[in-house]
Amino acid sequence: MNTRTLNLPLASTGMFAVLGAQFFSALADNAILIVAIALVKARGAGEMAPLLQGAFVLPFILLAPFVGQIADGFPKGRVMLAANAFKLIGAVLIACGIQPILGYGLIGVGAAVYSPAKYGILSQMFAADRLVRANGMLEGSTIAAILLGLLLGGWLADHSMAWAFAGVIGAYALAAAINLLIPRLAPENPAPTFAPRALIRRFGQALRTLMRDPDARFSMLGTSVFWGCGSTLRLMLFAWVPVALTIQDNQTPANLMGVVSIGIVAGAAIAAGAAIAAGCISLDKVNRSLIGGLLISPIVLCLAHINQLLPASLLMATIGVCGGIFVVPLNALLQQRGHESVGAGNALAVQNSMENTVMLLFVGAYSLANRADLAVGTAMTGFGLLLSVSILLLALARLARGKATMARSRC
pLDDT digits (tens, 9 = 90+) for 168-214: 999 999 999 998 888 777 776 666 566 788 888 888 888 899 888 88
Cα dihedral: 6, 178, 330, 207 (round 10)? -80
pLDDT at 361: 87
Residue pair 197/301 in contact by the 8 Å Cβ criterion: no
CA–CA gap between residue 268 and residue 60 (Å, rounded): 24
Instruction: Write out pLDDT tens, residues 352-372.
Output: 788 888 888 888 888 888 778
CA–CA gap between residue 21 and residue 15 (Å, rounded): 10
Helix, strand, coil percentages for the chain (3-state, nearest 5): 85, 0, 15
pLDDT at 107: 95
Q: What percent of the chain has a predicted confidence (pLDDT) above 90?
A: 17
List, in sequence order, the alpha helices (H) in 180-308. Answer: 196-212, 214-240, 251-272, 274-277, 290-303
List, in sequence order, the alpha helices (H) in 10-127. Answer: 13-42, 49-62, 64-73, 76-95, 100-125
**Mean pLDDT throughout 214-224?**
87
Band the pLDDT of 144: cuts 50, 70, 90.
confident
In this predicted model, which residue has the larger pLDDT, 411 or 87?
A: 87
Residue pair 296/322 in contact by the 8 Å Cβ criterion: yes
pLDDT at 410 over 50: yes
pLDDT at 120 over 80: no
Instruction: Write out pLDDT tens, residues 341-355.
Output: 777 667 777 887 888
Neighbour tally for 335: CB within 10 Å:
29
pLDDT at 152 over 80: yes
Q: Which one of 191-195, 329-333, 400-404 scores highest in mean pLDDT? A: 329-333
- pTM, two decimal places: 0.75
pLDDT at 274 over 60: no
Helix (H) or strand (E) holding 194: none
**Mean pLDDT throughout 386-393?**
87
pLDDT at 272: 60
CA–CA gap between residue 58 and residue 361 (Å, rounded): 11
Q: Which one of 133-137, 227-231, 258-262, 314-318 scores highest in mean pLDDT? A: 314-318
Interacting residues of 355 by C-beta distance below 8 A, sequence separation 6+:
60, 220, 223, 224, 227, 228
Q: Which one of 105-119, 159-173, 260-274 scores highest in mean pLDDT? A: 159-173
pLDDT at 1: 47
Q: What percent of the chain has a predicted confidence (pLDDT) above 70?
A: 88
Arch. (CATH architecture) of 13-410: Up-down Bundle (1.20)
In this predicted model, which residue has the larger pLDDT, 154 or 135?
A: 154
pLDDT at 360: 87
Instruction: Write out pLDDT tens, residues 12-24.
Output: 788 889 999 999 9
pLDDT at 145: 87
Band the pLDDT of 66: cuts 50, 70, 90.
confident
Domain ranges for the chain, please list them.
13-410
pLDDT at 199: 80
